[in-house]
Structure 1
């Protein structure tokens, strides 16, 4: 592996600023490494022509000499998750319907990443329309785990997580509705952060006054890089009326003070868990305890089946509204995977009463989180309910002998974090005896992304 590829964005930026290395040298090292590694893992797709990428690197070197860096990502390569539109670069959403779609504009977060000096070299693979925490689609095929190509990479930011873990990228973007920044981070031993709702504006959404389930966010191999990319993505925008107005600030070295963590585990046996998952997470919590943050088993008094039902209802409502026209068109309905068709059909059967009840449940859970945060600094859960599974599966049909009743029920453990609206980080927790990695979710106080990053740095 080229030495430059071992470094993260913060370290590479420092070398560039000192003139110790050029953007062309960095980009060439990463492209050479991608050529060697990517064919076995299929993490990066729609890779641009090398000559065009290197021309941008030369231009970045010229700007650096003339006026200094554009930002943290100046002259560094990045591949954008294939759910985010990229101007002039194919964006498929993992769907054959959009296999040849080339946007004429960047999404807001992509525009901010480019403004920070990044060179977009391609896209990272994702499931069809981001549905399901397993990265495969009929356009590009399956992305394979960084540690074992026979296993799932997770999803939907699976391509991003694998590219990071295998040092094909210094940092990566992603998005999260149902664990898409957390599950693949756990499966590939990197960091993934779902920011506070509204921290990263969702200006491209068709439902600007409702978009409160999905959010963009950063992935990285270090907390400093995670915070650095979040600082680029974050910030209010008038086109996103629900975006947070307070600026995001965090500096490396601002470790959290010793505190208390509520370990929710398997929610009092409500969640099916593969043997070993809780052990790996408790090992990670023991390391935090050694640093001064003690974890205590806690079982909130909440109806977990009610919470899961609210997650499903709100998700189906959003998906049916956004993708319903593809279902209505005879030319595209058959190109939608069965899980998407099920989401749309179910969403269209929802009543106003069901939507109101789901919103009320979400509010009740948020209030319960506030009660917990009176005594604890973070809430902890595993990032997934089983270790990375066979890459050829569509989704796990059972966990520990308990059948899963939908394509996403096996990821129920992420629903509390999503519905809280609070910031959530998946930390690398460790590996089981078979060499499969697992992550630990930490849910922080509302709006306190910086405090949660400090806790992650303490763990790091």
Structure 2
């Protein structure tokens, strides 16, 4: 594989150096006494103060709460009683995940004044692990679009080129981690909303199997079980460490009790990988196609069997399922809550949902069941699926989607064709950074495994990072 373009070493301003350390590196320094959680937090807060006005990644910052948490963590480390290996590590939370005492606007005027009284379970687990919750990251309205902008807070910008979007809907989350505004973030993925933004910003992002990260005490589910909370990180060690905090089963989420405990093998072994470079006639940017082909060759070089074959689904099939589910979900939410979306596209989606007959939703649910049976059978012949994470490079930040890809006109989901099959099928998927574009913009691939294979995907990430390290690639902010 060709090496990434050479970039000068990143030299952060004085006082911000600790903000560029990984979560596991921070924890190691806390343990040795070389650094305190309070010092690490102040470095992150200094970087947020300097860069967030330009990026608009964090839309609610809890400095007082974070400082109190950092002080408590420092005392635990001094006493030798940390609550977890990530005690004292800063983390941001996507603004469709509830955090007690912080606003949760979901990018919409409908939830402008919503102030939850309870943490959603993954946030509660981070808090119980001693992690320092920084605040909330920006989202598109109701997290139903593939870029990050809304009428309440405005657009989030990509640290690699602030004129461009980081994607969505976890755009604020990935922009924060990519810019060093905290080493970790919680995101959600209902159709690729972790994996695509991670690919646009040079990060790792995991969409877990339903139940792997148990959920309760959160916002209403408007995408059935398609949407899952997952970790976003710069390194595979950080992603695994956060997933271990999030993954224990909980009786309040029955899906979590159907899965075996998380296990990350030391080495993944030889995997049979089905490589899908494109889906039918839908276009992919040539630079992404070339980088993905190079990555496929890289996985072969690591000893895996990688074979290209026909996709076991079509884009039209997944959209025929995803469309009615998202339309009906949004229409139901608005009927329960009241109000109307600000975004014209979502107004149309809600109107379409209100016009749907109940039979259409039941038809989609039945199609989901058949889709899941098909993939359960497919993973008898294959262990993993490899695709591009996105069909397009990032586009202008205020623009909903690229109007064309590789010179071919596309609709608003043309860039997002590769990811939602995993959500519909109930499968885990991970975005991995690969060689960037000649412009320096990041590119990512997606690996999808059978239900429950979250640990295998993590092991593949560890192996890939060891062979093709990316953690020292930083945007020149």
- Asked whether the two chains share a fold, i.e. TM above 0.5, the reply is yes
Matched with 2:415 is: 410
Which residue of structure 1 lines up, in the alignment, with residue 7 of structure 2? none
From 259, 263, 282, the counterpart of 2:271: 259
Q: Equivalent residue for 2:472?
A: none
Cα displacement string for residues 94-130 of structure 1 (whole angstroms, at most 9, x for unaligned residues): 1233334322111111111111111112111111121
What is the CA-CA distance between 1:325 and the residue it aligns to?
Answer: 3.6
Which residue is equivalent to 2:3? Answer: none
1:375 is matched with which residue?
A: 381
Aligned residue in 2 for 1:281: 292
Deviations 1:372-409 (A, max 9, x none): 3223221011111111011121222333344434x434
Q: Report matched runs for 1:212-291 at 5 Å.
A: 212-251=225-264, 254-269=266-281, 271-291=282-302
Paired residue secondary structure (1:198): coil
Q: Of the candidates 27, 38, 45, which is equivalent to residue 52 of structure 2? A: 38
Match of 2:427 in 1: 422
Q: Deviations over 1:320-350 (max 9, x none)?
A: 2223345xx4xx32x5312222222222222
2:430 & 2:75 partners in 1: Cα distance? 37
In the alignment, what sits opposite 2:174? 161
Give the corresponding residue for 2:5: none
User: TM-score, length-normalised on structure 1?
Assistant: 0.92
**CA contact 1:24–1:57 (8 Å) conserved in 2:** yes
What is the CA-CA distance between 1:200 and the residue it aligns to? 1.4
Task: Give the one of 311, 318, 337 matched to 1:307.
Answer: 318
Query: Which of 317-326 and 141-150 deviates more?
Result: 317-326
Q: What is the CA-CA distance between 1:90 and the residue it aligns to?
A: 1.9
- Deviation, 1:425, is 0.2
Tell me the equivalent position of 1:3. Answer: 17
- The normalised TM-score by structure 2 is 0.89
CA distance in 2, matches of 1:128, 1:357: 27
List gaps (5 residues or longer) in structure 2.
Answer: 1-11, 466-477
Deviation at 1:179, TM superposition (A): 0.7
Partner of 2:72: 59
Deviation string 1:149-197 (CA, Å, 9 cap, x unpaired) is 0111111111111111111111111001011101100000000000011
* Residues 208 and 240, structure 1, Cα contact 8 Å, conserved in 2: no
SS in 2 for 1:413: coil
After superposition, what is the alpha-carbon deviation per residue over 1:121-152, rounded to whole angstroms, capped at 9, x for unaligned? 21111111212110111222111112100111
Aligned equivalent of 2:352, options 331, 346, 354: 346
Matches of 1:35 and 1:368, distance apart in 2: 49
Q: Aligned equivalents of 1:277 and 1:79: distance in 2?
A: 29
Instruction: State the secondary structure of the residue aligned to 1:276.
Output: helix
- Aligned 8 A contact 2:276 2:386 in 1: yes
Q: 2:428–2:454: 8 Å Cα contact kept in structure 1? A: yes
Task: Indicate the SS of the match to 2:61.
Answer: coil
Shift of 1:82: 0.9
1:24-173 matches, within 5 Å, as 24-49=38-63, 51-66=64-79, 68-173=81-186
Deviation at 1:43, TM superposition (A): 1.0
2:305 to 290, 294, 302: 294
Q: Is the 8 A contact 1:9 1:72 kept in 2?
A: no
- Alignment partners' CA distance in 1, 2:440 and 2:256: 40
Return the alpha-carbon distance in structure 1 between the equivalents of residues 432 and 72 of structure 2.
36
Shift of 1:363: 2.8
Question: Paired residue for 1:14?
Answer: 28
The aligned residue for residue 450 of structure 1 is 455
Which string of whole-angstrom CA distances, capped at 9 and with x for unpartnered residues, describes residues 55-96 of structure 1? 332222113333511113211222211111111112221123
User: Equivalents in 2 of 1:204, 1:9: separation in Å?
Assistant: 27
**Residues 190, 228 of structure 2: 8 Å contact kept:** yes
**Distance apart, 1:301 and its partner CA:** 4.7
Q: SS in structure 2 opposite 1:369?
A: helix
CA distance in 1, matches of 2:454, 2:53: 36
2:367 matches 1:361: yes
Q: Which residue of 1 aligns with 2:335?
A: 324
Compute the displacement of 1:208 (Å): 7.5
Matched position secondary structure for 1:142 = coil
Larger deviation: 216-225 or 307-316? Answer: 307-316
Q: 1:404 to 1:348 in 2, by over 3 A?
A: farther
CA-atom RMSD, angstroms?
2.2
CA distance in 2, matches of 1:267, 1:208: 29
SS of 1:380's equivalent in the other structure is strand
Q: How far apart in 2 are the matches of 1:117 and 1:220?
A: 18
**Deviation of 1:303 (Å):** 4.6
CA shift for structure 1 position 227: 1.4
* Unmatched segments (≥5 aa) in structure 1: none
The answer (yes or no) to whether the contact 2:95–2:107 under 8 Å persists in 1 is yes
Conserved 8 A contact 1:127-1:135? yes
Distance 1:26 1:208 in 2: 35
In the alignment, the residues of structure 1 paired with residue 60 and residue 313 of structure 2 have an alpha-carbon distance, to the nearest angstrom, of: 45
Whole-angstrom distance in 2 between the partners of 1:324 and 1:434: 46
Tell me which residue corresponds to 2:4. Answer: none
Instruction: List structure 1 runs of 4+ shifted beyond 4 angstroms.
Output: 205-210
What is the DSSP-based 3-state SS (H/G/I as helix, E as strand, rest coil) of the residue aligned with 1:324?
Answer: helix
Asked whether the equivalents of residues 69 and 130 of structure 2 are also in contact (C-alpha less than 8 Å), the reply is no
Q: Which residue is 1:433 aligned to?
A: 438
